[in-house]
Amino acid sequence: MKRVIIGNDHGAVDLKFRIVKHLESRGIEVANRGVDSGDSVDYPDIAAAVCGELLAADADGNSFEFAVLCCGTGLGISMAANKIQGIRCAVPQNIFAARMAREHNNANVLAFGGRIEYHEPVEAMLDAFLDSTAEGGRHANRVNKIMALEATGDR
């Protein structure tokens, strides 16, 4: 069974519940690490906790396929996530971008905004991501260059 971890701040509680329901309807186990109320929390803390758990396997060797992060816009939480070594967080604006995040960029985290009015459903973007695979080849070379920037800080 696929496993996904999700985290959100107070700006995306309703969206988080929608995403969890959708993923579970696809038979995916979802670990909810977000908040369930509108009480203010700091999205960098959520991003750090979720991404840390994504990168670590549990004692039985189980791991998550990817993570979903949500805040008011998806932007702040994605910026925080992308500061964590090993994370490639994309903020798709449509189905095509979600698919390319997986196929070309091998993203391991998607971020969405609870206060964003999307022209295509977030659920459809998730499906496009889930139903895609990383293409490798020239795209893997580019992903490796992205990851090398973490280690070297080269500009």
List the chain domain ranges.
3-152
Which residues form the catalytic set?
A: 71, 104
Q: Which CATH number fits domain 3-152: 3.60.15.10, 3.30.450.40, 3.40.1400.10, 3.30.465.10?
A: 3.40.1400.10
This prediction has a pTM of: 0.93
pLDDT the model gives residue 4: 96
- What angle in degrees, to the nearest 10, is found between the helix axes of 95-103 and 122-130? 30
Mean pLDDT value of segment 80-85? 96
From the CB of residue 136, how many other CB atoms can be counted at a distance below 10 Å? 11
pLDDT at 29 (0 to 100)? 96
Q: Would you say residue 37 has pLDDT above 80?
A: yes
